[in-house]
Structure 1
Amino acid sequence: MNNRRREILKIVSQNSRISVNQLAEKFKVSTVTIRQDLDYLEGEGFLKRIHGGVASLDSDDISSRLADNYESKLKIARKASSFVETGETILIEGGSTNTILAKEVSKKEGITIITPNIFIARECRKSKNNNVILLGGIYQKESESLIGSLAKLCIDNVNYKKVFLGVDGFTPENGFTSKDMMRAELATYIAHKSEKVFILTDSSKFGKSELTKLFDIKDIHYVITDEGIPHDDRDYLRKKGVKVIIA
């Protein structure tokens, strides 16, 4: 994704909708070029075209978050996808990097993808060779996630060996943390049932401590991130037995 397309995502997320002419004027390019950009971004599931312009998907500012550190997130997602094998059942929880992972996994065959996230389920819609299981629960509009006791009940009735989770922060003092208490509760529940737990996060989340604690570090097997992870955090995780992989 080039810089102009990343900037378009940010603008759309901030303005909800904007016209082709406005974008062409802002970037000093032709309307034909802007339409090509919008066709690409819509095809990737980042926004939706409307008559004469474009609108955001209004999914927890997903367009903006996908645009932030996109290249790093893409590398992380592709590295994570390399751990997924034909015939496996995996669970992808939520978050911008996991959204890109869903796209990458959808290119494979014979995979069953379980998710509590409607946005991620939509990202898998183009895949003809994989199955998607959308968990039930209380609909959280901002994140398009399904949460609560019904979601836990669904988790109890499915089996998976690998789970891919996102986080909002990490410090050695507080561990992995989240901004959302309800999603954090479900993510922790999901992690406890899996044989292998992967954390996918770009390095901007390290050094931050958010509202609520997630799973214990002992429950995590892999952290896939970029080279910007602080050395102290990387060494701390490795001493705790976590495999830190730089994408």
Structure 2
Amino acid sequence: MLPPQRHTLILERLRRDGQVRVTTLASDLAVSEMTVRRDLGILAERGDLVKTHGGATLPGGTTSSEPGFAHNLGVAADEKEQIARLAAERVHPGMSIALNAGTTTHTLARRIAHVPGLTVVTNSPRIAAVFDEGGTGQTVILTGGIRTPSDALVGPYAVHTLRALRVDICFLGVHGVSPEGGLTTPNLLEAETNRAFIDAGASVVVIADHHKWGVTGLCQIAELEAADVFLSDAGLADAARDRLAESIDSVIRAGEHPDAAATQTGENE
């Protein structure tokens, strides 16, 4: 196989799975690991991928890059709406829920703002404002803390508040999702606060669009197994869905019936 053909196949695999491993590529392409590393180096120089230890990921900035809320709000807006519709089906009057700061959770907040009798715990002033405008008798608990570039309130005050609470469902937005990194964020204090969100939830539902797959932030929030449910948009590749299902009990894409998703996953095992 000629180098351009290998490069095309490597990029196709990368777009499908979010990351690639040198050992796997060498076996699948029937070439040496040295050849694969050389191919990855060429593709990295072109800006098509980012080399990592033992493989490569999609380009998406450094592990510590932290775009602001306004920037992220316009990214993958359609996908976030798909996920918000899916997540909103789990929210019922009178429930207690937690929403960590983020644009996907903000999209969900707008969709459930008129559900009566909710108790909402959040570290996002923007999300708190959404429910304040809803006017249907929700109770909103806003943690204190230090504001980050993503408009999250984090740090000891936020963690102290969350450790005193227990909610029915924690909806968790994340910066990145990968088999090796788990659930990640670029911000150290945000990672600590998000771990407290996970501990507060009787059920943890991660909501992340397919662009987050294969992305790794500087700080790990938790392993994939910390999630009970993973909700994504229809663009999440089958291979990514199947890999997530190895660690998470329920992985559902927008437009996909939960029973059908479970059946497909079972067929692939």
Common fold by TM > 0.5: yes
For residue 233 of structure 1, report the CA deviation from its aligned partner: 2.1
Task: State the TM-score, normalized to the length of structure 2.
Answer: 0.66
Who is 1:74 aligned against? 81
Could you tell me which runs of 5 or more consecutive residues in structure 2 were left unpaired when the two chains were aligned: 1-66, 255-269
Matches within 5 A, 1:210-229: 210-229=217-236
- For the 8 Å contact 2:98–2:201, the answer to whether it is kept is no
Could you tell me which runs of 5 or more consecutive residues in structure 1 were left unpaired when the two chains were aligned: 1-59
Q: Indicate the SS of the match to 2:153.
A: strand
Distance 1:147 1:65 in 2: 19
Distance 2:178 2:150 in 1: 24
- For the 8 Å contact 2:170–2:200, the answer to whether it is kept is no
Who is 2:139 aligned against? 131
Q: What per-residue deviation string (whole Å, max 9, x for no partner) do you get for residues 97-147 of structure 1?
A: 10011111112111111101111111222111112111122x215222221
For residue 224 of structure 1, report the CA deviation from its aligned partner: 0.8
For residue 195 of structure 1, report the CA deviation from its aligned partner: 1.3
Distance 2:234 2:79 in 1: 9
More relative contact order in 1 or in 2 (CA 8 Å, sep 6+)? 2
Q: Indicate the SS of the match to 2:201.
A: coil
State the AA in 2 paired with 1:133: I
Q: Which of the numbers 117, 125, 145 marks the counterpart of 1:118?
A: 125
Who is 1:206 aligned against? 213
Who is 2:68 aligned against? 61
- For the 8 Å contact 1:185–1:214, the answer to whether it is kept is yes
Distance 1:142 1:211 in 2: 15
Task: State the TM-score, normalized to the length of structure 1.
Answer: 0.72
Distance 2:225 2:79 in 1: 26
Who is 2:245 aligned against? 238
Distance 1:168 1:112 in 2: 25
Larger gyration radius, structure 1 or structure 2: 2
Distance 1:141 1:167 in 2: 14
The 3 A distance-change label for structure 1 pair 149 and 95 is same
Q: Which runs of 4+ in 1 moved over 4 A?
A: none
Who is 1:179 aligned against? 186
Q: Indicate the SS of the match to 1:204.
A: helix
Who is 2:99 aligned against? 92
Q: Quote the sequence identity (%).
A: 27
Who is 1:42 aligned against? none
Q: What per-residue deviation string (whole Å, max 9, x for no partner) do you get for residues 138-176 of structure 1?
A: x21522222111211111222212101111112212212
Asked if 1:170 is matched to 2:139, the reply is: no
